[in-house]
Amino acid sequence: MPCHCHDHECECLEEHEHEHLHSSKKELFVLLIKLGVSVLFLLLGMFLKFDYSWINIIFYAISYLTIGYDVLLEAIKNIFKGEFFDENFLMTLATVLAFIIQDYTEAVAVMIFYQVGEYFQHMAVEKSKKSIQSLFELNIEKAVLYQNGQEKEVNLEDIQVNDILLVKPGEKIPVDGTVYDGHSSLNTSSLTGESLPVDVTKNDIVLSGSVNLNGVLQIQATKRYEESTTYKMKKMIESASKNKAQSEKFITKFSKIYTPIVILLALCIALIPPLFLGFSTHFNEYLYRALTFMIISCPCALVISIPLSFFAGIGKSAKEGILSKSSQSIEALAKTTKIAFDKTGTITKGAFKVIHEESNNPALFRKIIVCVEKKLNHPIAQSIVAYYENQPIEKINIEDVKDIPGVGIVASYQNQPIIIGNAKHLEEHHIDYPQVKEPGTTIYVAYQSKYLGHLILQDEIKETSKEAIQELSQLGIQETYLISGDRQEVASDVANQVGIRHVFAKMLPEDKVHVIQSLKSKNEVVAYVGDGINDAAVLLESDVGLAMGGLGSDLAIEAADLVIMDDNLKKIPKGILIAKKTLRIVKQNIILALSIKLLVLIVGALGYAPMWAAILADVGVALLAILNALRVLSRRI
């Protein structure tokens, strides 16, 4: 003790519940001992009368130092660091000056009230953080390695790619992987916010943090722990609480200006009235008012409740399957006025089907396109390979494969160039090709600088896309944009089906960045939703970048401010509602704290509030603000 309000950083703690309870009990025990000793010596000082008054003063001093030594030490340390204007300094200055004017009982009583109030504030914050953390409990301590029919418990950090792990009913999957053997149902609510179980069987992809509900599963690790979903989520949540939003930065700046002004006003209260009324008769009275004024001025409620409000918003979002990397992300999302979307894998499922093939040399065309696309991991590449998997296609040696995001592929076969991609890609290489009118995504293939053939693929629109756009419109976000590398006809058709108003087609990654730059202005906050490698730059350029976590590339997820864990676009309007509620509560706490502080400051300056009442007012406002911050967690958004 004490846990002072400037130290209440809302970080994601990893202590177990019994450790937390043990720590709380220990803090309470220490406080009670200090409180008992302090009150004993306070009563001795008040009721025992000695011939020498300095004995009473010693009793008061012992009482004061027992309960307040840590505040004094913290104030002295901060003075040497150049941090003069915090609550430790204000408390020390006020109580020491109270001693100087021989108001010993008041000085000790104020310090006792302060320490008890700090304890209750500390416990309220810890309980609040614990409630928030329980929303996205992701702790996994150990894993069971399964080798040669033997089970061996291992640390998560020791798991290697391709290790076989045994996961029994009720246990969490420790790392990302695939089902090697067995079938079961998984509870993925801690990752996606969805309560419906997901059935999995052999070769299905599973994410760490999912709870195995019934059958025994053998999981083959595809990632190490440090690269798995659970680890990334925990790190994102932890880092989110450390990055301050504009509202939090405002309070930090405000406190640095506000506290010196308060001390200056306190000096004026202490010195100016006695100049006119007489120092000898009125100085102690107005000094007392000044000390009360200083105690009231401490901005604890703001310093505690605002980070806690954002932390609650981050926790609530995580519970709904939306991971935020910072408080800034929550604040920016609440202020979003325009949203732009990538098409493939975002508005659509990214599950392409080949619907038409045309070529002047089918055998060569198929050999080239299959052997090239096998070297890539893009949804289109996977769809093409899957389309031809049951056909007897000769394997050829493809070399120098280079994937150009948003354009296509260059490679070589028998030292001759291969060009695969969109129409623009062929035009850049001065290759003539036939115009395709059919709807869908067209993939052209050229070999030896000549057109060889093309495929037409169609993508399926996600079931949630249209509803999500409608819900965004209801939230007042009318300006929606589709920014796609596909043809104008294809992009416009998709936009019309889901209700997106504006379309930018045939966009390269750098073109997408320019579009976002043109949409941004002083009064506009632009969000971008994407999933692929070619979205990383535009996610960084936007005011709010949202990555689709399930299908999204690691690079896109790294570049984004928020990650939607299950690729459900309806999470975006839900996330905006949570962000708006969070920001609304932050503003309420600022107004609440400043209004009550101002009222009590005036009462204190007029001499109607004793110092102990000032402490109660300070603690009371802080507790009210904490309770208000926790409203973010309520089911009603």
CB 327 within 8 A of CB 244: yes
Max Cα–Cα distance, the chain, nearest Å: 117
- Rounded Cα distance between 557 and 565, Å, is 10
Q: Is 308 strand, coil or helix?
A: helix
- Rounded Cα distance between 70 and 76, Å, is 10
What type of residue sits at position 488? Q
Segment (H or E) for 339: strand 338-341
Following DSSP, what letter does each residue of 486-522 receive, concatenated?
S-HHHHHHHHHHHT--EEE-S--HHHHHHHHHHH-BT
Q: Which of 222, 231, 236, 223 is nearest to 558 (CA)?
A: 236
Active site residue 342: yes
Following DSSP, what letter does each residue of 211-273 receive, concatenated?
EE-SS-EEEEESS-GGGSHHHHHHHHHHHHTTSPPHHHHHHHHHHHHHHHHHHHHHHHHHHHH
- Rounded Cα distance between 571 and 64, Å, is 54
Q: Which segments of 503-570 does DSSP mark as H helices, in order? A: 509-519, 536-541, 554-559
- Rounded Cα distance between 266 and 263, Å, is 5
Q: Tokens 């419906």 correspond to what residue?
A: 196
Sheet holding 502-504, edge to edge: 322-324, 562-564, 544-548, 526-530, 338-341, 479-483, 502-504
CB 291 within 8 A of CB 98: yes
Which residues neighbour 517 within 8 Å (Cβ) at sequence distance 6 or greater?
A: 541
What type of residue sits at position 221? A
- Rounded Cα distance between 329 and 609, Å, is 42
CB 192 within 8 A of CB 565: yes
CB 602 within 8 A of CB 503: no
**Which two structure tokens, joined as six digits, stand for 98?**
């109270």
- β-strand partners of 200: 184
CB 455 within 8 A of CB 384: yes
Rounded to 10 degrees, the C-alpha dihedral 359/361/367/370 comes to 0
- Rounded Cα distance between 326 and 630, Å, is 18
Which residues neighbour 478 within 8 Å (Cβ) at sequence distance 6 or greater?
A: 501
Q: Is 29 strand, coil or helix?
A: helix
Q: Tokens 């590339």 correspond to what residue?
A: 553
Which residues neighbour 312 within 8 Å (Cβ) at sequence distance 6 or greater?
A: 128, 132, 582, 629, 630, 632, 633
**Which two structure tokens, joined as six digits, stand for 199?**
């059935």
- Rounded Cα distance between 109 and 115, Å, is 10
Residue of 86, 176, 342, 543 marked catalytic: 342
Annotated catalytic residues are 342
